[in-house]
Copies of this chain bind each other. A is one copy, B any other.
Amino acid sequence: MQDSQEYKDKKAYFDKIITLYGRNVVVEVLQDSSVEVHKLHMASSNKPDGAIKTILALAKTRKIEITYHEKSSLSRISKNAKQDQGVAVDIIAQTYKSAHEIKDMKSFRLIALDGIQNPQNLGMIIRSCAAGNVDGIILPKKSSAKISPLVIKASSGTLFKLPIYYCNTLDEIFPDLDADTRIYSLSSHAKTSIYDVVPTEKSIFVLGNESDGVSPEVEKLCNDSISIPMQRGVESLNVAVTASLLAFMK
């Protein structure tokens, strides 16, 4: 029983870890004392000058564990050999939670992402949702952009302000939710306007892929499909703009 709890705590801890990479990003992360750092990874081939020197000094000051790796192993950690520049950092995102927690929440307005590919869009969505009136984002690991330096840059320092509920796929989460949860998919073809939606205590708005919209598998788990009324025959909005309009809806 004790073991089981320990295992659960450990799993919850590791689930909150996000690995970032690139020298400038790692310097920024280490300089921001509000970001909890688990571990720093360095390629043993890095020359200890310039940004590397800064990184080592910051790690020393903050007493952060450093592990050295062959360049190829480091790339397996960063998962981005082209852009890691021999440096990766594991950070602990306290706002990163399992989407399985949602079913126990009493009220929420969430934005779920179904296949958002562009890191800039993801960053902008995080920024607008953090600033707006939503309680978090549901971000599936499969088929979505991952939290990366590009996402962090576009989020403009807001990534750790907003709960992000991770899951593998949305269809592992939606069927478990209470029957009084309303799930809306956004679609430019939908006849119901977002302005006619009366938000309930538990609402989820699903935004789909930049080109293809919400996937058929997720669509069939939604209660209704809604659209933003547009002028001048414009067919669609940027997905981050749609997220922003939802986030600032009264």
**In the bound complex, do residue A237 and residue B127 qualify as a contact, i.e. CB atoms below 8 Å apart?**
yes
Q: What B residues does A248 contact at CB under 8 A? A: 228, 245
Give the contacts of A200-250 with B (CB-CB under 8 A): 228, 230-234, 236-238, 240-241, 244-245, 248
**In the bound complex, do residue B133 and residue A237 qualify as a contact, i.e. CB atoms below 8 Å apart?**
no
Counting CB contacts under 8 A, is A156 at the interface? Answer: yes
Complex-state Cα separation, A128 to B232, whole angstroms: 11
The CB with the most chain B CB atoms within 10 A, among A230, A231, A232, A241, is that of A241
**In the bound complex, do residue A131 and residue B244 qualify as a contact, i.e. CB atoms below 8 Å apart?**
no
Q: What is the total number of copies of this protein in its complex?
A: 2
The one of B128, B161, B230, B234 in contact with A241, judged by C-beta atoms closer than 8 angstroms, is B128
Q: What B residues does A158 contact at CB under 8 A? A: 232, 234
Chain A 119-139: CB-based contact to B (< 8 A → 1; otherwise 0): 010001001101111000000
Complex-state Cα separation, A10 to B69, whole angstroms: 68
Q: What B residues does A56 contact at CB under 8 A? A: none
The CB with the most chain B CB atoms within 10 A, among A130, A131, A228, A236, is that of A131
Q: What B residues does A237 contact at CB under 8 A? A: 127-128, 131, 244
Q: What B residues does A240 contact at CB under 8 A? A: 238, 241
6 A–B contacts from the bound complex (CB under 8 Å): A127-B234, A127-B237, A130-B234, A131-B228, A132-B231, A158-B232
Considering the complex of A and B, which 4 residue pairs feature the smallest CB-CB distances, nearest first? Answer: A131-B234, A131-B230, A241-B244, A161-B232
